[in-house]
Amino acid sequence: MNLLESTVSNISNADESSAKAAKAREDSLTKPQGSLGLLEDLAVRIAAMRGTARPRLGPGAVFVMAGDHGVAAEGVSLFPSEVTAQMVANFVGGGAAINVLSRAAGARVVVTDVGVASDMPAAFGLYSKKIAHGTGNITHGPAMSREEARRSIEAGIEVFEAEYAKEAFFIAATGDMGIANTTPSAAIAAALTGLSARDIVGRGTGLDDAGVERKIAAVEKALATNKPDSHDGLDVLAKVGGFEIGAIAGTCLAAAARRMPVVIDGFISTAGALVALSLAPAARDYMIAAHASAERGHRAMLEKLGLHPILDLGLRLGEGTGAALAMPICVAACKILDEMATFTEAGVSEA
């Protein structure tokens, strides 16, 4: 049994008895029932994940996966591929948006090179799990082999476990870096939701109308050329995906195997979550949607996952920025459930 198979075998559905106990406690707290809206639902979901009516979330970790894409040659991004490596260096140096927002959230940033086209110099805090120097151009053929797809997912699992062994964390989040990666993400989304490329493809880094049309054409050609099997997430990843998207799927699976909440960032991270869902449907129980991306098609992807986003701020940066913003809300939801007094405890008359 390989690492992917063993991880999937350790994933079970969230604990409904803990959810019921948490809901009963939530309804007895000193407030009108339902008055904290979706915060209450979030707390109950996390209780089910953790298997306790009063979950407590400590420090978190944001896993930023990086890789390049051959489809960048089709003019689907405003930025050149070398920006991927430059931004990875920025992440390691602590100067990117994800670093700032993670510090605000009290979470550490874990950066992994899964398939950056450049050879990254050894740096403190950078995991090197490079499978290849970028994927193939999906408009001409598959992004990677099936074996490479499995290895990319396992890279995400390995980094998660290595980081957990260093210092335990209690909530995970996903992030990405890869110039042109909204194109393979759109192809994955189209393959796994059944929607058309035109329904999914957005402006990415800020493409004009002509650029969006090029991108739609690239996704349509990738799907027609590779014919990914919508019932096989590994096949979809191999044919039209990306190394960092596979590693994000691995993060989702590793978190689910540890019964840990994982906050899914935006468009690219949600593509990885869709791959994870295809491989292990129960993994969905541990996923929390951070936000509704401004990228076209993201809401349809969240609907496929059955998740309601916490935030709607018009974000489209990626990196894990939306997830970092949502993490403290998850912590706050658990604190309400655990620390707020019940009517009986506070001696307050009920309705």
C-beta atoms surrounding 341 within 10 Å:
12
For residue 73, give every residue at least 6 positions away whose Cβ sits within 8 Å of its Cβ, in sequence order, or none. 137
Mark whether 319 is an active-site residue. yes
CB 50 within 8 A of CB 58: no
User: Cα–Cα distance between 261 and 266 in angstroms, integer?
Assistant: 16
User: Cα–Cα distance between 120 and 29 in angstroms, integer?
Assistant: 52
User: What radius of gyration, in Å, describes the C-alpha atoms of the chain?
Assistant: 20
208 phi/psi in degrees, rounded to 5 = -80, 180
Residue of 154, 244, 295, 319 with catalytic role = 319
Q: Is 206 exposed, middle or buried (0-12, 13-18, 19+ CB in 10 A)?
A: exposed
CB 157 within 8 A of CB 7: yes
DSSP line for 77-130: -SS-THHHHHHHHHHHHT-SHHHHHHHHHTEEEEEEEEE-SS-PPP-TTEEE--
| Residue of 130, 97, 242, 238 lying closest to 180 (CA atoms) | 242
User: Cα–Cα distance between 320 and 177 in angstroms, integer?
Assistant: 9
**Catalytic residue positions, numbered:** 319
